[in-house]
Amino acid sequence: MKTLLTLLVVVGAFVFYNSIFVIDEGKQAVITQFGEPVRGAFNEAGLYFKIPFFQKVHEFEKRIIKWDGEPNEIPTKDKKYIWLDTTARWKIDNPLLFLQRMQNYNRANYVISDLINGAVRDFVTKNVLLEIIRSSDWDEKYTMSEELKIKEDVRIKVGRDQFSKLVQATVATTIKDFGIDLIDVLVKRVNYTVNVRNTVYDRMISERKRIAARRRSEGEAEKAEILGNMDKQLKEIQSVAFRKTQKIRGDADGEAARISGEAYSKDANFYAFYMTLDNYKNLIGKNSRLVLDTDSPLYKYLKDIESTSK
C-alpha cells in the first residue's frame, strides 16, 4: 500500500510538472495539440497550464532579433560592380502565424535573406552608383560630393538613406504575412570592386585637384579685390593729404606775402637789399666764388654800405 501511494505521488508530480510551463520576460509562446495550435498566443510572462503529454509549448523571442546578410557583388545601372553588405532588425509580431508559416528560426532567416537580398539587388540594378553611396543630393560647398561627382549631371532622387527605407518597406509588406515585423534594413558597408575602386580613386584625385584650383582662383580674386580696395583707400588718403598740403602752403604763402608787404612798406630800400641777398644765397653754393659786375644791384648795395661806413 505504501509503495502504491509513493508511486501515485510520483506519477502525480510528474503529470503536474508536465502540465505547467513558465514564460520568461522577453519570450512568447504558442501551444499545439497534435500539431495544431490551440488557444491563442501567450505574450505575457507568467505561469501557465497545459494538457500534459498531448500539448506542446513552442517558445519564441519577443525581443528584437538581428539579421546579418552576406556581402553580395551587384552591378549598378551605370555598370559599376559593388560589394554591398546589409543588416536588418526584426521581431516576431504574431507568434501563431510565425509557427504556422516558418516553424523555426532557421527557415525565418532563410526567407528574410531571400527577400532582403532580392529587394536590394533589384534596387541597385535600377539605380546609378551615386544613389547607393550618397545619403542625399548634397549641395554644400567643397564636400566629398564634389569628389564623387561624375561628368553627367546626376541628380540624387533617392540616396542611401531612402534606399534603406524603400528596401525595408518592400520586404516588410511581404514578410508581414509570416508573422514577422521588419523594423529596419541598414547598409553596413559598400565596397567597390578592384577595377571600379581604381577608377574612383583617379576621379577623386582629379576632382580634388579641380577643387584646389578653384579655391586658388577664388583666393586670387579675393586678393585682387582686397588690393583694389586698399589702392582706392590709399588714393583717397593721398588726395585728402594733398588738398590739406596745398591749403597749408597757400596759407603760408599768403602770410609770407603779407609779411613781405609790411616790410616793404616800412623800408623799401632795405627790403630790396634783403631780397637781393636772399636770391644770391639761393644761387650761390657754399664754396662758390662770386664775381660781381659793377652794374649789378648787389655790388651797388655793397658799395653804398662801404661808403656809409666811411
Asked if 16 and 105 sit in the same domain, the reply is: no
Is residue 74 situated within a structural domain? yes
Q: What pLDDT, on the 0 to 100 scale, is given for residue 307?
A: 60
- Taking the complete model, does pTM exceed 0.75, yes or no? no
- Average pLDDT of the residues of the chain: 76
Percentage of the chain beyond pLDDT 70 is: 68
Is residue 167 situated within a structural domain? yes
**CATH for 138:** 3.30.479.30
Domain boundary among 60, 92, 107: 60
Asked if 22 and 75 sit in the same domain, the reply is: no
pLDDT score of 292 more than 70 = no
Asked if 34 and 153 sit in the same domain, the reply is: no
Asked if 120 and 176 sit in the same domain, the reply is: yes
Name the more confident of 27 and 6. 27
CA–CA gap between residue 173 and residue 152 (Å, rounded) = 35
Is residue 229 situated within a structural domain? no
pLDDT score of 187 more than 70 = yes
Is residue 284 situated within a structural domain? yes
With CA atoms as reference, report the closest residue to 115 among 27, 182, 209: 182
Instruction: Return the top range by mean pLDDT from 13-27, 29-43, 69-83.
Output: 69-83
Phi, psi at residue 239, to the nearest 5°? -65, -45
CA–CA gap between residue 223 and residue 228 (Å, rounded) = 8
Name the more confident of 179 and 299. 179
Asked if 123 and 250 sit in the same domain, the reply is: no
Domain boundary among 15, 36, 60: 60
Phi, psi at residue 45, to the nearest 5°? -70, 145
Task: List Cα–Cα distances, 200 to 38, 99, 197, 204, 211, in angstroms.
Answer: 59, 48, 5, 6, 16
Listed range (6-15, 79-88, 95-104) with the worst mean pLDDT = 6-15
Query: In what helix (H) or strand (E) does residue 99 lie, and over which residues does it extend?
Result: helix 95-101
Average pLDDT over residues 283-299: 68
Average pLDDT over residues 190-196: 72
pLDDT score of 51 more than 60 = yes
Q: What pLDDT, on the 0 to 100 scale, is given for residue 205?
A: 86
pLDDT digits (tens, 9 = 90+) for 115-169: 988 888 888 888 777 767 665 544 444 444 444 444 444 444 556 667 788 888 8
Query: In what helix (H) or strand (E) does residue 9 lie, and over which residues does it extend?
Result: helix 2-19
CA–CA gap between residue 22 and residue 218 (Å, rounded) = 73
**Containing structural domain, residue 278:** 246-309
Neighbours of 123 (CB within 10 A): 21
Query: In what helix (H) or strand (E) does residue 2 lie, and over which residues does it extend?
Result: helix 2-19
pLDDT score of 309 more than 50 = yes
Is residue 144 situated within a structural domain? yes
Percentage of the chain beyond pLDDT 90 is: 3
- Count of domains in the chain? 3
Q: What pLDDT, on the 0 to 100 scale, is given for residue 104?
A: 84
pLDDT score of 310 more than 60 = no
pLDDT digits (tens, 9 = 90+) for 222-274: 999 999 899 989 989 999 898 899 889 888 888 877 877 777 676 666 667 77
Asked if 147 and 9 sit in the same domain, the reply is: no
H helical segments located in 20-94: none
pLDDT score of 198 more than 50 = yes
Is residue 76 situated within a structural domain? yes
